[in-house]
Chain A
Amino acid sequence: MTSITRTGSARGTSTRTRRRPIRPNLVATHVVLAIGLVLFAFPFYWLVVMATSSTSDIFSFPPRLIPGPEFFNNFGQVLANTTFVQAFFNSIWLTALTATIQLFLASLAGYVFAKRRFPGRDRLFGLVLVTLVLPTGVALVPSYQIYAGLGWLNSFWPLIIPSAVSAFGVFWMRQAAVSAVPDEVIDAAAIDGAGFLRTYWTVVLPMIRPSLVALGIFQIMWTWNDYLWPLLVLGNPAQYTLPIAIQQLKGNYGNVDYSVVMAGTLVATLPLIALFLALRRTVLDNVAGSAVKG
């Protein structure tokens, strides 16, 4: 950046450049970033304010803009009226399990579609892609019927099996394998005597790690936030996942105690935030990496 400025000032004839002026584009960048930060962070901040105030405080004027003392009171009501703790546990293991299976199967399929040659490969991949364009709503009732026929209603199977591998996951991992794994490396592994699974595990997987992490975050978010499908197939409050538990706070005829709902939502959001913070370097590396390769 410095060298660019020097080049720029060398071209200019004025001596004023020695004072290292505040570059307008840098100021503009920071202003835009600051506005963006406020825009993106404010809803979360507001969530914190709502979760720690009473509903009446939220709606009074002027509105309360700093967090209040009501969080434990609100969260106490969440615990009293829902199966929150059980649901939190259910969401954690279900999300971890589906993400693990999805990452394994999608990366394996993606690698095969990208690097292995077999008759009909591209057509098969096309078929997989076609399923991407089907809206989920269309599949809802037929899927329900299938799982009802299998006798899997009121169990976790209908949440695990359909998300074991998705068309999007396969597509994502195939693109990652195409761009990140050179054919030469695979050939070299073959010459060294590595078999199919060994090549996948020790050669391909480490090379597509950033994409794996990104897909993992997507999958975790999807499972964590999914509401409608679990609502339909789970039949026992002890099986409920977090979104359903939080929805239990919505009273008869649509009455909502906002601050109580927000207290539940805040706690339900924390694992995702913690996860993103822990993995942000890998994710950002991946974004930057893709941009360069782009």
Chain B
Amino acid sequence: MSKIRTAAAMGAAAALIAALAGCSSGGSDSKTVTIWYRPNSLPAASIKGVQKQFPDVTIKLVKTPDVDTKLTSALRANSGVPDIAVANTQPLRSAQSKIVDVSKYGFASVKSDYLDWKVKAAQGDDGAQIGIPIDIGPEGFFYRVDKFKAAGLPTDPADVGKLVSTFDGYEQVAQTTKDKLGAFVCDSPDSSVYVPKTFGQGYFYYSSDGKLDPGSAVNKQGFIDATTFGQKGLCLNAQPYQSDWSAGASQGKLVGFVGPAYEATLLSSSAQNSSGQWRVTTAPGGSSSQIGSNLSVFKTNADPKVTTKIAIWLTNATNQASGYQTDRLFPSTPASYSMAAMKEPESYFGGQVTAQVFAGIAKDAPTVTTGPASITTQTVFNNAMIDAVKNKTNPSDAFAKALSAAPTAQ
């Protein structure tokens, strides 16, 4: 019996050792640079080329889902923090002491390569540059040519852009497609009306002097207008990235919507059946853009100059230009817009060069002031809007109620 026991114990030990042979513990020295990034958040050319570009350091690229969750734990425990990460910049402001102000290590000299408003949106307290811009999400109006034709509407992007340039014009188009086709050119009042209205004025729950301001007139007007739009039954009432949005696009119920450039990926995977019919033009209410992502450099590496240099290279104009067609990352570097990679016609959009439409919007978009509470405040007002549209509550009352529930600190 003791033989069996010994054999079992030895077997278990051997299995344990064999299994753990693959384990390694990480550690950062100045010669190893660890980069965490979400799938598809960096241009493929950057990922492929970075090691070759910096042969003196070992670059460890870690493609990981939910970078923000992982990063929060690492920062809180002050352990396992990478050298560079693609992360939501605003929530990182609470950990600003652990982030390199890249303007001190070489970013200042290349700052003008990036869109000014985007650079500002990646700053923390006291103007410290805690993020290096990657992509942005200029808002365009996506629509289907065949359906617009059937509804007797113009189909050329320039004409459609003119038609929907005001919210009144947009509402008329929405009414026409609804009456004639039973189809919608608005996915949700929030993304198609509220976002272009408020982002177009540089508002994301903070006033331009950086104070949390959910009670602002811009927010109130945007909320009331979007809710009223929704209550008229002009929207599909489906949020992007949810299955009813994809079903609407695939079944021809959603024939137009306002959304950032990167939603083209969502559209083309959901509605392959209408390939070639979609076009993009300017959105109602003038130019606006979603802020998009940034790279942050952490104080884990002994040589912040090198890590900053790597982060800058990853986001240079040439790399960003290549990321548009392959990864749908719209560049934050205006020099990219005139590069060949951004002048290619796209078959999904019937041969339209969509990059050029978005380029114009990106350049004109205002600086959006954001802060740590932007996302949480957005959730409060979004939910209130969805409820108000569903229950047909008075929009002003719904706004007042949401305002009382919104965060006030910061």
Interface residues of A, Cβ cutoff 8 Å to B: 54-56, 58-61, 81, 93-94, 97, 100-101, 104, 140-141, 144-145, 148-149, 151-157, 160, 197-198, 201-202, 228, 231-232, 235-239, 244, 247-258
Contacts and interface: CB of A to CB of B under 8 A. Distances in A.
Given A151-B25, A154-B26, A155-B23, A252 B270 contact: no
Contacts of A94: 19
A15 B22 CA distance: 76
Interface stretch (B33-41, B195-203, B303-311): B33-41
Interface residues of B, number: 52
Q: Is the interface of A mostly helix, strand, loop or mixed?
A: helix
Contacts of B60: 236
A248 B77 contact: no
A148 B247 contact: no
A210 to B, nearest CB: 21
Interface stretch (B62-70, B104-112, B214-222, B383-391): B62-70
A249 B25 CA distance: 26
B12 A141 contact: no
A250 B65 contact: yes
B355 interface: no
Contact of A250 (B20, B24, B39, B251): B39
B62 A232 contact: no
B323 to A, nearest CB: 10
B212 interface: no
A251 B67 CA distance: 12
Contact of B19 (A61, A93, A232, A255): A93
A102 to B, nearest CB: 12
Given A54-B272, A231-B64, A97 B22 contact: no
A252 B65 contact: no
Interface stretch (B92-100, B116-124, B261-269): B261-269
B250 interface: yes
Contacts of A239: 22-23
B241 interface: yes
Contacts of B266: 255
B26 A153 contact: yes
Contacts of B293: 252
Contacts of A255: 40, 241, 262, 265-266, 269
A88 B63 CA distance: 17
Nearest to A94: B19
Given A236-B62, A248-B63, A252-B41, A59 B26 contact: no
A140 B72 CA distance: 12
Nearest to B37: A252
